[in-house]
Amino acid sequence: MMDLIDSVATLIDVRDRDDLEITLASVMFELVAASELILWRVRHTAAGPEFTERLYLSSLRSPRTVAPMGQPLDEMSAELRAAYETRQYFYRGYGKEGCSRHVFPVLDGPRIVCLIEIERSPHLSKDQERLVLGLMRIYRSHLGILENNDTDELTGLSNRRPFDESFRRLANGAAGQPARAGAAASAQAELAVVDIDFFKRINDSFGHPYGDEVLVLLARLMRSSFRDIDRIFRFGGEEFVVILPGMRRDEADEALERFRVAVETFAFPQVGHVTVSIGVTSIRSGETGSDAFGRADEALYYAKRLGRNQLRRHETLVAEGSVAPKDRVSQDIEMF
């Protein structure tokens, strides 16, 4: 009983959505004594759902590297396909030793956001099944509370509230894409500040409802342009922040430039074409969100001064002598 109480307390202590999924899966793995557990993140695309292995836990085998690429539904196991298509818990036994595979779809409202695949011998008892389903109800309830507090009402992106916590874990090497169970995640990451060019002019010329529509459509472009593990925040007004974990500088620059071009070539209803300016910097180990944001913001305003609709990297500007190096503000000062 105490183990169950501790597990529930661990689950509701989490304040980050990505961490909540990982914690839910880890708690399940321990409570039901699974031999293997895989957490599959689901991304819904125009071509159909894609499944990315987010976490792998095993009590029997050596940890393996998690595949970063999404897989289509027809490449997944029969058990996972059945759970996804019926939106219900699915179980199948196999082998002479009483091995079993259980798949639990995790829903956020009407959408399946991830699936938890558990392998175990013997199969889960009815009490264990009810325990897992109860934990999932706690997850959905807690997720709803987090989203009410941490989500921008207009765009559906994260707001400023969860930024510091997400950034702190990343800068300390505790975030990013977990490669395998028990291994530290890479702290290599990039932070970009995105600002819509001449946004006040859009509001003044077309009215605030069309300005709001630009923000909503831009948020959609951001979701489709970046990976599931990337974190996107609306900081207010026309300013957004993107955290790109596990990326080299050149990879981040390419991803951000693709997004800039996607915005430039998108036809916004009534408004027409809109552009964005972007400043980017590499996150340094142990620094605060204020430190990295300050550098990216300086690069952003340099891009604005040079004519807008462009990407500028702070490290390159320092090397060119265009801006002065920025010292760390303080590890004790938080941004919000």
Q: Give, in degrees to the nearest 5, the angle at Cα 216 between 210 and 220.
A: 140
Which candidate in 79, 119, 238, 298 is catalytic? 238
**What Cα–Cα distance (Å) separates residue 164 from each residue in 106, 229, 245?**
27, 17, 15
Q: Which helix (H) or strand (E) holds 71?
A: strand 71-72
Question: Edge-to-edge, what's the strand order for the sheet holding 111-120?
Answer: 71-72, 48-58, 36-45, 111-120, 99-108, 90-94
Tokens of 133: 């389903």
Q: Where are the alpha helices (DSSP H) in 35-125?
A: 78-86
Tokens of 232: 């996107």
Question: Edge-to-edge, what's the strand order for the sheet holding 311-313?
Answer: 231-236, 239-245, 189-196, 276-282, 311-313
Q: Is 238 a catalytic residue?
A: yes
Q: Catalytic positions, please? A: 238
